[in-house]
Amino acid sequence: MAEHESLEFGKADFVLLDNVSMEEFMANLKLRFDKGRIYTYIGEVVVSVNPYRAMNIYGRDTVEQYKGRELYERPPHLFAIADAAYKAMKRRNKDTCIVISGESGAGKTEASKYIMQYIAAITNPNQRAEVERVKNMLLKSNCVLEAFGNAKTNRNDNSSRFGKYMDINFDFKGDPIGGHISNYLLEKCRVIFQQEGERSFHSFYQLLRGAPDSLIRSLHIQKDPAAYNYIKVGGQIKSSINDGADFKAVADAMKVIGFTGDEIQTVYKILATILHLGNLTFGVDGDVTLIENTKLVSILRELLSTKEENVEKALLYRTVATGRDVIEKQHTVQEASYGRDALAKAMYERLFCWIVGRINDIIEVKNYDAKIHGKNTVIGVLDIYGFEIFQNNSFEQFCINYCNEKLQQLFIQLVLKQEQEEYQREGIPWKHIDYFNNQIIVDLVEQQHKGIFSVLDEACMNVGKVTDEVFLQGLNTKLAKHAHYTSRKLSPTDKSLEFDRDFRIRHYAGDVVYSVVGFIDKNKDTLFQDFKRLLYNSSNPVLKGMWPEGKLSITEVTKRPLTAATLFKNSMISLVENLACKEPYYVRCIKPNDVKSPLLFEQERCRHQVEYLGLLENVRVRRAGFAYRQTYPRFLQRYKMISEFTWPNHELSSDKEAVKRLLQGCGFDHDVAYGKTKVFIRTPRTLFSLEEQRAEMVQRIVLFLQKVWRGTIARMRYRRMRAALVILQAYRRYKVKSYFREVHRRFKNVKSMKDYGRHVKWPTPPKVLRKFEEALRSIYNRYADKISALQVRAKVACLEALKGQRADLGLQRAWEGNYLVSRWDEGGQLCFFQINHFNKAENRAVLITDRHLYKMDPLRQYKPMKSIPLYNVTGVSVSPGKDQLVVFHTKDSRDLVVCLQGMVPANESRIGELVGTLLSHFRIEKRKLQVNIASPIQCSLNGRKCTVIVEPKINQSQPDFIRSRSGFILAVPGN
């Protein structure tokens, strides 16, 4: 069923009507039309009512709504039937066809264009150039064929005056790769005559009203259609058609399709030639037939690219071969006029067939090998003339209505008959539904020896004067007892029929009266061989190619050509056979009124179409007591969420048993029947109830799925984030390690470099170490600028010896080492010291080199006073306080006691620097130096033991040594 439409719009499927009757059918059809719903289903048949207005239901958004959906999932639409045909073709590898039927003005041509538009829109997701080219050709060909094959009639501004069947070929991927167009029975008599209020083919008016002035001049024509006899009736009729804009659109389309400039010019010349032929008149001078307006002959000669005398001769004479003799027979005025009109009709028909053939040459499948590329499949679209009943119905209407009889018979065979056979096949008991089988009418027309076409051909083959009345007499003789045929002779009291002129056929669409006037001539379709030779001998290669039979010599004997009726009958039989071997889909078009109003719904007008289209019988057979049927798997797929036994998947023995359990659980078991492969539901109410329950469950399922999916997404995001963090951490560790390894590699030998590695380029750090690198580089630069490697070792040695035992070690400042600005004999490290020698305080300087410790007098330009070899120094003692007391212990017990004083800046502690420097040096020499931190400090002065005590005193301004009983007291300023 069609979903998502409220009942305010009526039933979207006629099968769901509560009561199947003409009244309810028409009421539902009218309600949907009034509500703007022009499409309705009958099962898988689309009923379309012409809206006579533009509707915004064919855009890209609508295409996406129907793409890939099942027929019943969306509201009725042409796109749904097109998608169904496409899916059947693509999924099941089946050839399909869409048959569009209905009377003239019902919207068949527009329906075919929308179907083509949809098929083009849903293919080619990758925008491949070749596929786009084919699709563009197929769509553009519609524009060209409409210009040359459609005309304005009293019923329709854009009526197809020819039948068109288009095959679209698809490759195994479902992309179009080409196509082929077949055309049927162009109404060429419209070239020379139109009924009052109608026009000839669009192409003539487009040329006159849209061609540029230069082209108009070159063709020797004028822009007023009323100036030409063949189309003057149409030229006086106002129309909504914009011929000027259409001329440009058709010209552009022909260029896109691939028509060359010369070919397009030839098309225009042929149209102009036909217009000029219509103005050509004949007169009589004695026994001689003359052309009255000879200037036109010169124009025709120019347009046809031939000789003027040949044109005039072909128009006035007929060449006849009798054995070996060749005779030129002059035409009478009537014969010349007939030949002129026959030439005009034949030229237009040949032009139209050439255009179709040219399009086929361009869009046909090329270089396709089934063994390599796989089997190609086909979707056929049939847009053919609808059933016609005019005031005067002639040979063309008879052929058109016969065509519709054939298509209706196909519809009956493939739809109605199949419907009834389906019930029998499924084993469902039901009551037989009678329907009108129009095979009897088809046989009336095409049966061998007895059919109307056979009688017509037999009359045309008779020797001597053959008239239309003779043909009618033949019909009366052979069809006198046929229930669907009558004439005035057979029904003398029927005054609606004229004697010796009319006959009536009871078609499936109603009774139609035909006039036999012109049947013989139109069936013979005689065109003198002189015209064929004239056009074949043209110097225009395009025109010459349209008339290949013109190369035959005058004396060459050929077979009698097939008549127009036989050709058309054969083409219809071939068409039906072609459609019958494909999976068919149907669009039944209905015309709501005859005045093209978007608001008017004429009940009787539409009722008549519903009757002759057999739509009500279609509904009855489709239902046959059951409103809906579906295969068990598909039914479960749609409704399985309703029952706990079938959701999400059943565990029963078969899908049929699962469907039974589902329907029993819902309480609908009494309203269904179970076939071999399908379930059948009797009343629409059951189906509506199932849909309501499904809609309710779908909301709950959607919420559940949203919950699960959101949780899944959250977990996926968490795992991705966690994985990303693990990767980031591992990568960060890798980058940090790589950075440190690179720093170590570059700077491991800087101690041996003269500039301590200042020239070494630092590696680029990872982002996380940028600030660390800046600090590291700052530290390195500071130490590289101010200290050597020996000073680093000295600080390390000081830290190891004094850390935690003395407060101020001076580690935070730079250890300059050389505090004495003078020269010395031995290089080394210099420090200032204040020295107290025995009882007398004296200012002295101490110079420590890598060999000696010198005591120097700063007042005598640092003259050395005493030297102590470093190998004689055994240890150093310092106090734990902030004083600057240092005692150097020697092997000869002549220790040196000093207090570092007079430093710049003042109060700067250099005990740590002194101790660290000595320790570092001794370690390099691989000797041991004892460092003591004690208070008081025990020492030996000139071999005598003594003690040095540090005492702070309040009034003491600077450190000073004071002798005591046990030794010395170092008085330091107190706090």
Partnered with residue 629 across adjacent β-strands are: 680
Q: Which residue has the tokens 């086929």?
A: 360
Q: Which of 96, 101, 104, 454 is catalytic?
A: 104
132 is in an annotated binding site: no
Catalytic residue among 40, 101, 124, 159: 159
d(CA 773, CA 782): 14
Known active-site residue 764: no
Task: Count the helices and strands in the chain (H runs, E runs).
Answer: 31, 33
Q: Which residues pair with 325 in a beta bridge?
A: 322
Q: Is 48 exposed, middle or buried (0-12, 13-18, 19+ CB in 10 A)?
A: buried
Active-site residue flag, 156: yes
Q: Which of 277, 190, 276 lies closest to 233, judged by CA?
A: 190
- Amino acid found at 758: R
Active site residue 388: yes
105 in active site: yes
The token pair at 807 is: 């407060």
Q: Distance of alpha carbon 528 from its chain centroid, rounded?
A: 54
Q: Is 518 annotated as a binding residue?
A: no
Query: Which of the following is catalytic: 10, 386, 614, 912?
Result: 386
Rounded-to-integer distance, Cα 560 and Cα 832, Å: 142
Q: Burial of 244 by CB count in 10 Å (0-12 exposed, 13-18 middle, 19+ buried)?
A: middle
Q: Report yes or no: 778 and 785 within 8 Å, Cβ to Cβ.
A: no
293 is written with which tokens? 């307006």
Residues in a beta bridge with 818: none
SS (H, E, C) 705-769: HHHHHHHHHHHHHHHHHHHHHHHHHHHHHHHHHHHHHHHHHHHCCHHHCCCCCCCCCCCCCCHHH
Among residues 198, 388, 405, 419, which one is catalytic?
A: 388
- Select which of 5, 96, 101, 105 is catalytic: 105
SS3 367: coil
**Does the annotation place 102 within a ligand binding site?**
yes
Tokens standing for 684? 């629409």
DSSP assignment of 130-153 equals HHHHHHHHHHHHHHHHHHHHEE--
Establish whether 104 is an annotated binding residue.
Answer: yes
Which of 825, 817, 788, 781 lies closest to 918, judged by CA? 817
Query: Are 640 and 650 spatial neighbours (Cβ–Cβ below 8 Å)?
Result: yes
843 carries an active-site annotation: no
Is 974 within any annotated ligand binding site?
no
The catalytic residue among 48, 150, 160, 487 is 160
Under DSSP, is residue 420 helix (H, G, I), strand (E, B) or coil? helix
- The residue among 203, 207, 230 whose CA lies nearest residue 148 is 203
**Cβ count within 10 A of residue 813:** 13
CB-neighbour burial class of residue 492 (10 A; exposed 0-12, middle 13-18, buried 19+): exposed
Q: Is 765 left (phi over 0), alpha (psi -120 to 50) or beta?
A: beta
Which one is catalytic: 96, 109, 142, 200?
A: 109
List the one residue out of 898, 869, 878, 868 whose CA is nearest residue 938: 878
Known active-site residue 553: no
Q: From CA 960, how far away is CA 946, in angstroms rounded?
A: 17
Give the tokens for residue 142: 């519609």
List Cβ<8 Å contacts ≥24 apart for 211-217: 211/247, 211/268, 215/268
Is 421 strand, coil or helix?
helix
Query: Which residue, among 670, 342, 683, has the nearest Cα to 530 in the 3D structure?
Result: 342
The contacts of residue 643 (CB under 8 Å, 6+ apart) are 661, 662, 665, 666
Q: Give ∠ CA 232-237-242 in degrees, rounded to 5.
A: 105
The token pair that represents 381 in the structure block: 């679209």
Cα–Cα dist 704/698, whole Å? 10
Select which of 28, 123, 141, 156 is catalytic. Answer: 156
Distances (CA, A) of 926 to 469, 786, 789, 791: 147, 26, 18, 17
Active site residue 104: yes
SS3 (DSSP) at 3: coil
Query: Cα(first)–Cα(last) distance of the chain, in Å?
Result: 107
Binding-site annotation, residues: 102-109
Query: Which residues are the active-site residues?
Result: 104-105, 109, 156, 159-160, 386, 388
Binding-site annotation, residues for ATP: 102-109
